[in-house]
Amino acid sequence: MAISSRLPCSLDARDEWSRARALTLKTLHGSVETPIFMPVATQAALRFLDLECAHQLDYQVLLANTYHLLIRPGPEIFQRYGDIHRFMKWDHAVLTDSGGFQLFSLSKQISLSEDGASFRSYTDGRRILLTPERSIEMQKTIGSDIMMVLDHCVSSTSDEATTRAALELTTRWAHRSYTARGDSQQALFGIVQGGCFTHLRRESAAQITSIDFDGFALGGLAVGESKAEREDTTEFAAELLPADKPRYLMGVGTPIDLLEAVRRGVDMFDCILPTALGGQGVAFTSHGKIDLRRGVYRIIDDPLDRSCPCSTCARFSRAYLHHLVKAQEPIVSQLISTHNLTFYRSLMRRMRVAILSGTFRELYEREAPILLSSDTENPPVPPARRRALR
């Protein structure tokens, strides 16, 4: 029997030039305005950063991971504290991934069956069986606002038979996940698989959208395909999803990936890149991507981005940040990650404002070349070719 949505969704605007749209979602912990990027707090913590940074930037949703939180600290800790919000002192929404991607990324260490996935804990070696029911039960214990069904993800370069088997198992697990949710008021998203095969994406979308989920995600992308394949598959598959519910592209991506996917009708995103690349010395700016590992930045006194209001840009030069990267000082990961999350938040806000004002095409044509560029102010110079000795 169908149930009323646990995630009320209103359409605020739809762009006439593209498929971009702006939604407002009502979660258990407040409103969420899309398009939205969700910083990854895998183990109930942002990488390199205090959650206060996310509060100050007004991020409305964080993503945590069921697989890792099941292993450590375990369900008994969340039962003791009440939920993840009280545990990590976060009063906005939380989305929990089901653990499906970890089953893919750790596949050589996991035994997969119809029932679920069996693996050993990386903390104490105990054997754990993660079933759709256990994943949902753990997410209910965590107390996230949005839960994800347990899915079977395979590489986007897998053959058709492997991809079909994965989507069929995902559908069977989706039904079990939906049943396991019961009367919980937490929202639950289904996941569409199918790799880059359009006919399989169509089959998976038909199967998953036949279940009364509160939103739908595109899984199995950013796992081996080219940028063009990802964009084409996203555009095709997003149109197969209900127009009155949110659409979530899992694990994507760079700023240009977000812009391209919003153009194609996607509302929600998560990715580790802002902090993972920040830890490597890579920053996203209004002039394109900057790699601070390059020696050219050793004597450049400019901030990362003169138009950025973050504390890193207000205080430090590229030269100083380059020094910290080269010296492998841990603080540099925090400084650049703060900037990157500021940049991502600003980009999502600009996209929403453009959709609401009917100027998304202008924003896209202005921003896309910049987001595609890298080190344009100080481009790498190829080494001079040596003349052959005669």
Instruction: Please indicate, yes or no, whether residues 243 and 166 belong to a single structural domain of this protein.
Output: yes
Question: What's the confidence (pLDDT) of residue 366?
Answer: 98
Question: What's the confidence (pLDDT) of residue 1?
Answer: 35
Kindly indicate the confidence band of residue 342, based on its pLDDT and cuts at 50, 70 and 90.
very high
CB atoms inside a 10 Å sphere around CB 199: 10
Single residue among 271, 289, 314 that ends a domain in this structure:
271
**Domain range enclosing 319:** 278-372
Can you say how many angstroms the Cα of residue 4 is from the centroid of all Cα atoms in its chain? 26
Kindly indicate the confidence band of residue 5, based on its pLDDT and cuts at 50, 70 and 90.
confident
> In this structure, are residues 181 and 222 in contact, taking their beta carbons and an 8 Å threshold?
no
Among 40-54, 71-85, 372-386, name the one with the lowest average pLDDT: 372-386
Quick check: is 305 catalytic?
Answer: no
Query: Which residues have CB under 8 Å from 41's CB, separation 6+?
Result: 51, 62, 63, 64, 88, 94
314 within domain boundaries: yes
Of 272, 298, 271, 283, the closest CA to residue 335 belongs to: 283
In the chain, what is the straight-line distance between the N-terminal and C-terminal CA atoms, in Å?
84
Among candidate residues 15, 151, 214, 270, the one labeled active-site is 270
379 within domain boundaries: no
Question: What's the confidence (pLDDT) of residue 384?
Answer: 62
Instruction: Report how far residue 371's alpha carbon sits from residue 253's, in angstroms, rounded to the nearest whole number.
Output: 12
Instruction: Please indicate, yes or no, whether residues 267 and 299 belong to a single structural domain of this protein.
Output: no
Among candidate residues 97, 267, 291, 305, the one labeled active-site is 97
Instruction: Please indicate, yes or no, whether residues 48 and 30 belong to a single structural domain of this protein.
Output: yes
Query: Which residues have CB under 8 Å from 325's CB, separation 6+?
Result: 281, 292, 293, 332
Single residue among 237, 271, 305 that ends a domain in this structure:
271
Quick check: is 270 catalytic?
Answer: yes
Kindly indicate the confidence band of residue 385, based on its pLDDT and cuts at 50, 70 and 90.
low
pLDDT in tens, 276-330: 999 999 999 999 999 999 999 999 999 999 999 999 999 999 999 999 999 999 9
Percent of the chain with pLDDT over 70: 96
pTM: 0.95
Instruction: Please indicate, yes or no, whether residues 142 and 168 belong to a single structural domain of this protein.
Output: yes
Total number of domains in the chain: 2
- For residue 222, give the CATH number of its domain: 3.20.20.105
Instruction: Please indicate, yes or no, whether residues 65 and 181 belong to a single structural domain of this protein.
Output: yes
